[in-house]
Structure 1
Amino acid sequence: MPSSAVAPNSRNKSGTAASERTPGAAAAAESASPPNSATSTATATKQALKQRGVPAANGHANGKPNGILSDKRTVSEEHDEQGLDNISDTSNDPNDLTTALRNAVAPYCPSYSVAFKALFLVRTLAATYSNISDCDEVFNFWEPMHYLQYGTGLETWEYSPIYAIRSWAYILAHAFPAEIARLAMSANSLQVFFILRIILGAVSAHCEATLYRAVVDEVDPRIGRYLLLALISSAGTWIASNAFLPSTFAMYTTMLFFSQTLQPPRQHSGKRTFWAIFWVGMGALLGWPFSAAVGLPFAMEELLVHSRNHSKKKTVRFRDWRVMRLIRLVTTSVAVLGLVLVPIMAIDHYYYKKLAIVPLNIVLYNVFGGDVGPDIFGTEPWWFYILNGLLNFNFLLPAAFLSLPLLFITKFTVPDVLPSPPSSENLPLKDPLLWFSLKLSPFYLWFAIFTAQPHKEERFLFVVYPLICFNAVVTLFLVQKMVQRVLNKFVARSKSSAIHKYSTGLVWVILVASAAISLSRIVALHEHYSAPIDVYRKAYDLVKVPSLIHLEGSDPAIVAATIVSDTEKLSVAMAGDDHQEPGGAPIRVCVGKEWYRFPSHYFLPDGTKLGLIKSHFDGLLPGEFREGSRQTDLPPMKTQPSAAKGKEHTPFRVDWRWSAERRPGTSLVPKQMNNENKEVPEHYTPLDQCQYLVDLDFSGRYPDNDSQATQRHQEEDAIEPRYLQDKDHWERLYCKKFLDTQVGAGRNRWVRAFWLPNKVVVALTRGQTKTWGDYCLARRKSV
């Protein structure tokens, strides 16, 4: 085994070898043989290990105390005896022997670096090929950030200063790395979009690798290995990891928070408490306030689970330690509240021009919104999250639900394999069952809270996606141990190593099967529904706009120009305020029924805007942010009387590209906007002002696809006509296939949700095949 692979398993966080921390196998060997007899030392060491009935290094795996989920069985039952028998008895160095023993019985666990690289590779692929699963991601986050960066974008009612339930601080946290990437790489807006998704993937990979190593070091290396595979391969983490959503940000902070809580509780040190509260507070205040719910079991643990550490201070009397913990929780929470919330409020006040506590506004709207709460945007049945979880995690979701019941079953059936968390002095906790139950409970708490809410969306579950994986692999581990113990009672002792191999292999079979189903899900999402991103990505090159002049220190300016070609005439002029566009208008790329699949203005070239045309959707569509000055310098500010008599001064103003003065839409109350999801006709663009059109046409629904069938459809549906069939007015520029879920094999839910070979599809649907629609970018023909 390469040395790089051994290093993570041979030392703890402080760099001390595992064998140096406790009287492990090496110590037992040295006491049983003369110092100068290497052969006797090796033999005695192996015998001591088997007699002690504990894993290598006295129950330490990977150089850490491994009390959680560790067995009290003998080494012959726990590990493969062949690994001990293969150790050379002729080793001349006792340290080499100790290392060999440890590597023989401890499973290989990748280091943080290896895990991060593997995760980052998968997250980079997701950033490139995954779809945008929620239109809220575009209109509530990508569009406001585009407005800050480039001066144009669509605005939802949530950003109106009247409601202020979206934070500009959260947008800035993503806009800064995007702007740095733009400047450093001279990237256009389309490239900035994918660069930011890759950055988000890197953040997710770091958080996942940190969580994985915490599980390896503090829980069990086998559970850590299972968790790493589950995180890498599940379709749920593929979808959530790169999303520009507060729930994804809260997922990042939840992983860092959970990594801290896996450490044993300490009495005298507040470091664990501070960082745990900091990360859960950051996720709740900057991301999504409801993510604070995952921290409730931690608060209970601080008040219910006692521990001692290596502190030289005198141990606190048992009846007083809860008071000290409570004081520490309160003071740390107040400190984190000040560190995180105050800067957020300052940024939001700067852009909204009013005092706005956005986390509080979100809670008030969602909990006390009444008739104008989130339920007006749709409700789902109680089993919505169960179905969604089965699609994204398949076997792992039911396994996650079984983790806590199985923990209690283990307590009364096979108590030998019950989790037993370590303490800093290697002393058992008073109630390890309680301690570990608190680690499994955040997933149940989150699932229960959001299942009870009528308004449900897939992104609401992103926060606990890593916890689903953790609970699931704990279930698989416990089942493996119980199967081993039961079979050991009925199988000869000589076959115990084979039992261990087969039971471990069964867990890997389940995980690999789950990964294969997730891969099928990922491929199906890309093959069936990736057309919108592909078409808009191509639109960045195909949509033609007049030449743009970039003035240093200002936004791009659209200058008066006339471009005459054989097919079209386009006339544009300098664009001023959104309500006053003298001499012309920007190029419009319009969408109707496909408005919710628009991936943001990052996919449109400068000088282009999205136009929304009427469709059957009768709810509230986003409007446009008020645009500010496009001049090099802002108009001079008027002088005001100074405090000194007879003197005047000019007020201070921040003059930068993202300043509130250059982006007045952040503080101006948009007209024709409401929080009741009522349609606003002023948000529509007349069709005759559209130079380009993106539409989806399901030609498979019209078998006799001729002019008469098209004419009949136009008469039947005047609101959503088949624009792409109107060849007299529209010319197709680029098309991609999009699965039709109402005709052919697409009606089958299994065919829609997972990729299956064509022969399987035909057999499953009794001879039917997939029918595809045309998702196209079209250009208006010259008249």
Structure 2
Amino acid sequence: MQMHVFYSVRLALGLVSAATEATLVSAANQKLGPRVGMYTLMLLCVSSGCFNASTSFLPSTFSMYAITLASALVLLGGRHKAVVAISAAGVLVGWPFAALAAAPLVVYSLISGGFFHVFLAGLLSTLCTMVLSVLADRHFYGRWTSSVVNLVFYNVFSGEGSTLYGVEGPTFYFLNAYNNFNFSFVLALLSPSLLYIERRDYDSLPRKPNRGYPRLLVAISPLFIWVAFMSLQAHKEERFLYPIYPLICLAAAATIERLHDFLPESWKLHEYLSWITWWVKRARPLVLGGILALSYCRTLSLFHGYSAPMQAYRHLPPLNANTTSEATVCIGDEWHRFPSSFFLPSSHYHVAWLNDGFTGLLPRPFDPALGGTTAAPRHFNSKNKASADQFLADESLCDFLIELELNRDDRTYRSHNKESWKPVYELRFLDKELSPAKTRAFFFPWIWEKSNKFGTYRLLRRMNESASI
């Protein structure tokens, strides 16, 4: 039953995402032509990155909804108040730092729509959203506070810094975006040149009608600002790029549609080179088809290589309906792949963390005896330092165990203790460190199986568990 709640929430989020992306596709269809709209739709549907981002219950996902809708309204034109109001609400409900991505849309609307009235619309949206946010915080935390203000203060002014949670190199987002969008990301980065191409066509004879590419450049500008800004930050995570995911598809679609125009204009009239332009123009379906095929291969790689955590918890046995006992599922260094408590069969199950060397903070359930959400756990701190209280000291209290076994000589796995543990479920898991990047990222039959290395993801059960479990 709990898992049904998880997927119901995902379904609702998917519907919201579909509505915002449908608006974006409709805007592309109306202002850039049916072919761009169709290409955008196909890229959105097949992209593994958009699939993951659209149904994630994350602040960056809510910002993605808002920026996608605001960009669509910019493309349609004449909706300046709505653009600013939606951007403000989406940033505050979602992720305050995404304000930088929404900034060009807001500035464009303020300039184009009449500053005073558009500004009032944004101010009203900001005030209403902040009031609702503070009231919600007051209800759940039992005191007057603002989670939005606290988030900004901690990350910007507290001096702690997000680097406590890990750092990555400047190419992280480019490589990550290529994995999720392959060549469509490369084509998206070329989209600003469409403004030059349109100007070239406009100045030539016969003149071609305006296709709205200057407004397109405004609509997709969050893509370039956000990628550049986030690449300069030391702490990087894939989810931080979510706000501009749909814009990658729109920018790539517009580039594919005008792919032949990237060739020199003189080639079209050249006796021997005109055939190149002719072939490139007709190769657009092949380019799109190749991108879609690679996107499908990426999805297959994620499913076959990393789906074990989503499957393992399904095999936890249900407890007897009338039992008063509880079962403890212990997790060590696989804590970061725990999907959520919704994957536990019932409220009689609970999760405990084992100390496998992790030195950071781990999530803890709210304690009803201390006031539930109104009382912060005592061991929480702003330094991301682990506390002994977050780990289960006595492993004999574990009824079930989640463990990933990889081919490592420096590790001892609990599953090797056959007298204490027996496997309930096993599934192979892609070993990222031992598998080449070029073969693990995309699923190519035979090559993927042969070239990559795998570990075993296990759900284990204690041999002497109680009869009620």
How many angstroms does 1:747 deviate by?
2.3
Q: 1:273 to 1:304 in 2, by over 3 A?
A: closer
The 8 Å contact of residues 297 and 438 in structure 1, kept in 2 or not, is answered as: yes
Q: Distance in 1 between matches of 2:104 and 2:297?
A: 35
The aligned counterpart of 2:144 is 355
Q: 1:772 to 1:295 in 2, by over 3 A?
A: closer
Identify unmatched segments of 5+ residues in structure 1: 1-187, 266-271, 306-323, 423-431, 549-557, 560-571, 573-585, 629-662, 702-712, 763-767
Cα displacement string for residues 727-771 of structure 1 (whole angstroms, at most 9, x for unaligned residues): 1111111111112334xxx5211222111222x358xxxxx6544
How many angstroms does 1:481 deviate by?
3.8
Cα displacement string for residues 203-256 of structure 1 (whole angstroms, at most 9, x for unaligned residues): 212211111011111232221111111111222112212111111111112121
Aligned residues: 460
The aligned counterpart of 2:321 is 547
Match of residue 135, structure 2, among 323, 326, 346: 346
Q: How does 1:591-606 map to 2 (within 5 A)?
A: 591-606=331-346
Q: Distance in 2 between matches of 1:328 and 1:441?
A: 24
The aligned counterpart of 2:166 is 378
1:252 is aligned to 2:65 = yes
Q: Secondary structure at the match of 1:283?
A: helix
Q: Distance in 1 between matches of 2:352 and 2:216?
A: 54
Per the normalisation by structure 1, the TM-score is 0.55
Q: Distance in 1 between matches of 2:124 and 2:432?
A: 52
Q: 1:294 to 1:588 in 2, by over 3 A?
A: same
The aligned counterpart of 1:58 is none
The aligned counterpart of 1:216 is 29
**Which amino acid counterpart does residue 251 of structure 1 have in structure 2?**
M
For the aligned residue pairs, the C-alpha RMSD in angstroms reads 2.7
Match of residue 420, structure 1, among 210, 226, 235: 210
The aligned counterpart of 1:367 is 156
Q: 1:678 to 1:757 in 2, by over 3 A?
A: same
The aligned counterpart of 2:176 is 388
Q: How does 1:154-303 map to 2 (within 5 A)?
A: 188-265=1-78, 272-302=79-109
The 8 Å contact of residues 64 and 245 in structure 2, kept in 1 or not, is answered as: yes
Match of residue 459, structure 2, among 749, 771, 777: 777
Q: Secondary structure at the match of 1:623?
A: coil
The aligned counterpart of 1:402 is 190
Cα displacement string for residues 71-94 of structure 1 (whole angstroms, at most 9, x for unaligned residues): xxxxxxxxxxxxxxxxxxxxxxxx
**Which amino acid counterpart does residue 547 of structure 1 have in structure 2?**
A
The aligned counterpart of 1:622 is 363
Q: 1:203 to 1:303 in 2, by over 3 A?
A: closer
**Which amino acid counterpart does residue 749 of structure 1 have in structure 2?**
A
Q: Secondary structure at the match of 2:234?
A: coil
Q: Secondary structure at the match of 1:734?
A: strand
The 8 Å contact of residues 693 and 778 in structure 1, kept in 2 or not, is answered as: yes
Q: Distance in 2 between matches of 1:775 and 1:523?
A: 18
Per the normalisation by structure 2, the TM-score is 0.90
**Which amino acid counterpart does residue 724 of structure 1 have in structure 2?**
S
The 8 Å contact of residues 234 and 514 in structure 1, kept in 2 or not, is answered as: no
The aligned counterpart of 1:439 is 219
Q: Distance in 2 between matches of 1:405 and 1:747?
A: 37
Identify unmatched segments of 5+ residues in structure 2: none
How many angstroms does 1:476 deviate by?
2.1
How many angstroms does 1:508 deviate by?
1.6
Q: Distance in 2 between matches of 1:404 and 1:623?
A: 46
Q: How does 1:439-518 map to 2 (within 5 A)?
A: 439-483=219-263, 486-490=266-270, 502-518=279-295
The aligned counterpart of 1:529 is 306
Q: 1:761 to 1:447 in 2, by over 3 A?
A: closer
Q: How does 1:36-115 map to 2 (within 5 A)?
A: none
The aligned counterpart of 1:655 is none
Q: Distance in 2 between matches of 1:414 and 1:332?
A: 36
The aligned counterpart of 1:749 is 437
How many angstroms does 1:690 deviate by?
0.6
Q: Secondary structure at the match of 1:349?
A: helix
Q: Distance in 2 between matches of 1:263 and 1:521?
A: 32
Q: Distance in 2 between matches of 1:442 and 1:737?
A: 39
The 8 Å contact of residues 484 and 503 in structure 1, kept in 2 or not, is answered as: no
The aligned counterpart of 2:297 is 520
How many angstroms does 1:456 deviate by?
0.8
Q: Distance in 1 between matches of 2:2 and 2:294?
A: 35
Q: Secondary structure at the match of 1:375?
A: helix
How many angstroms does 1:513 deviate by?
0.4
The 8 Å contact of residues 426 and 458 in structure 2, kept in 1 or not, is answered as: yes
**Which amino acid counterpart does residue 441 of structure 1 have in structure 2?**
S
The 8 Å contact of residues 404 and 440 in structure 1, kept in 2 or not, is answered as: no
**Which amino acid counterpart does residue 780 of structure 1 have in structure 2?**
R
How many angstroms does 1:671 deviate by?
1.0
The 8 Å contact of residues 440 and 448 in structure 2, kept in 1 or not, is answered as: no
The 8 Å contact of residues 329 and 398 in structure 2, kept in 1 or not, is answered as: yes
Match of residue 327, structure 2, among 579, 587, 597: 587
The 8 Å contact of residues 20 and 65 in structure 2, kept in 1 or not, is answered as: yes
**Which amino acid counterpart does residue 402 of structure 1 have in structure 2?**
L
Q: Distance in 2 between matches of 1:454 and 1:694?
A: 31
Q: Which has the higher contact order (CA 8 A, sep 6+)?
A: 2
How many angstroms does 1:414 deviate by?
6.8
The aligned counterpart of 2:385 is 678
Cα displacement string for residues 398-428 of structure 1 (whole angstroms, at most 9, x for unaligned residues): 2111111342355357745888367xxxxxx
Q: 1:675 to 1:254 in 2, by over 3 A?
A: same
**Which amino acid counterpart does residue 51 of structure 2 have in structure 1?**
W
Q: Distance in 1 between matches of 2:248 and 2:51?
A: 14
Q: Distance in 1 between matches of 2:356 and 2:174?
A: 32
How many angstroms does 1:678 deviate by?
0.8
**Which amino acid counterpart does residue 329 of structure 1 have in structure 2?**
V
**Which amino acid counterpart does residue 358 of structure 1 have in structure 2?**
S
**Which amino acid counterpart does residue 590 of structure 1 have in structure 2?**
C
Match of residue 431, structure 2, among 740, 762, 769: 740
Q: 1:407 to 1:421 in 2, by over 3 A?
A: closer
The 8 Å contact of residues 264 and 421 in structure 1, kept in 2 or not, is answered as: no
The aligned counterpart of 1:160 is none
How many angstroms does 1:535 deviate by?
0.5
How many angstroms does 1:486 deviate by?
4.6
Q: Secondary structure at the match of 1:599?
A: coil
Q: Secondary structure at the match of 2:135?
A: helix
Q: 1:421 to 1:264 in 2, by over 3 A?
A: farther
Q: Secondary structure at the match of 1:677?
A: coil
**Which amino acid counterpart does residue 330 of structure 2 have in structure 1?**
C
Q: Distance in 2 between matches of 1:755 and 1:241?
A: 22
Q: Secondary structure at the match of 1:741?
A: coil
The 8 Å contact of residues 391 and 753 in structure 1, kept in 2 or not, is answered as: yes
Choose 1 or 2 for highest CA Rg.
Answer: 1
Q: 1:521 to 1:675 in 2, by over 3 A?
A: same
Q: Distance in 2 between matches of 1:354 and 1:692?
A: 38
The aligned counterpart of 1:11 is none
Greater Cα shift, 330-339 or 412-421:
412-421
How many angstroms does 1:302 deviate by?
3.4
